Amino acid sequence: MTTLVVFITGCSSGIGRALCWAFHQKGCKVIATARSLDSLQELEAAGMTALALDVTDTAAISRAVDAAIATHQRIDILVNNAGYGQFGPLVDLSLEKLQAQFQTNTFAAIALIQQIAPIMKRQQSGLIVNIGSVSGIVTTPFAGAYCASKAALHSLSEALRLELSPFGITVVTVQPGAIRSNIGAAAKEALAGVVAPESWYVPYRETIEQRATLSQVNSTPTEQFAAQLVHQVMRPGPPAVIRLGNKSRWLPFLRKWLPASVLEQILKRRFNLE
């Protein structure tokens, strides 16, 4: 059998980096991408292909895909992992910050798929794995931009799964729960300056910061998550939706079975909005 070639975005740390190692240990040829090549030196030293890629730059996507094909001649699995969390009250977020959130978490995935799906069609096979979030199912206060970007990615994945199926391309949506990574620290950094001194939400500043780092509370180890995910997506006929990690099941359960008014009251109480 042909050794599978896996193209992964957002590999400088966290989930993306752990997925590189997990696929590598399965014998796959891994193409690790990140904005900074320096962050990929350890992966490259282990035999993986390292490519610089800013997923918000369509020209950079073209260059990276061309380089991947020049080296490996094919791409069997695309993992759209690159993303970050923009937290804060929606009335305080600039349109530029909102657009940047969707550009990275949602539109970049589509841009990569539009470049790589034709390659998979020529191969008559391919797997696209979009890393969404349980936050795309249960929207919480002070995370509206992030939750919406992931919910949009879920919907796009659902449409793509149907549209690409005639061409031998499978699409899987991953909805992680709390997974240990640097997303909390990055989210706290992205929050800087959002709540200005004149904001309505100055009294809620501590709560907002807690929401930005909430995914790191009782989080599942990244390596454990990556090993479980790779095992599932490499099986024949992988599930359409994969939920892994702490909180990945009970939050959707609450959304499905609790009356909306009850869930709203729980969230208000949790985030001091009563």
Domain assignment present for residue 159? The answer is: yes
Please give the chain's pLDDT, 274 residues, in tens: 579 999 999 999 999 999 999 999 999 999 999 999 999 999 999 999 999 999 999 999 999 999 999 999 999 999 999 999 999 999 999 999 999 999 999 999 999 999 999 999 999 999 999 999 999 999 999 999 999 999 999 999 999 999 999 999 999 999 999 998 877 777 777 788 888 899 999 999 989 888 888 888 878 999 999 999 999 999 999 999 999 999 888 889 988 999 999 999 999 999 999 8
Domain assignment present for residue 268? The answer is: no
In this prediction, residue 72 carries a pLDDT of: 97
In this prediction, residue 202 carries a pLDDT of: 93
Domain assignment present for residue 259? The answer is: no
**How many structural domains compose the chain?**
1
In this prediction, residue 48 carries a pLDDT of: 98
Domain assignment present for residue 150? The answer is: yes
In this prediction, residue 193 carries a pLDDT of: 81
Domain assignment present for residue 254? The answer is: no
3-state DSSP of the chain: CCCCEEEECCCCCHHHHHHHHHHHHCCCEEEEEECCHHHHHHHHHCCCEEEECCCCCHHHHHHHHHHHHHHHCCCCEEEECCCCCCCCCHHHCCHHHHHHHHHHHHHHHHHHHHHHHHHHHHHCCEEEEEECCHHHCCCCCCCHHHHHHHHHHHHHHHHHHHHHHHHCEEEEEECCCEECCCHHHHHHHHCCCCCCCCCCCHHHHHHHHHHHCHHHCCCECHHHHHHHHHHHHCCCCCCCEECCCECCCHHHHHHHHCCHHHHHHHHHHHCCCC
Q: Is 201 a catalytic residue?
A: no
In this prediction, residue 215 carries a pLDDT of: 81
In this prediction, residue 1 carries a pLDDT of: 52
Query: Looking at residue 55, which CATH number applies to its domain?
Result: 3.40.50.720
Domain assignment present for residue 263? The answer is: no
Question: What's the distance, CA 153 to chain centroid?
Answer: 9
Domain carrying residue 72: 5-248
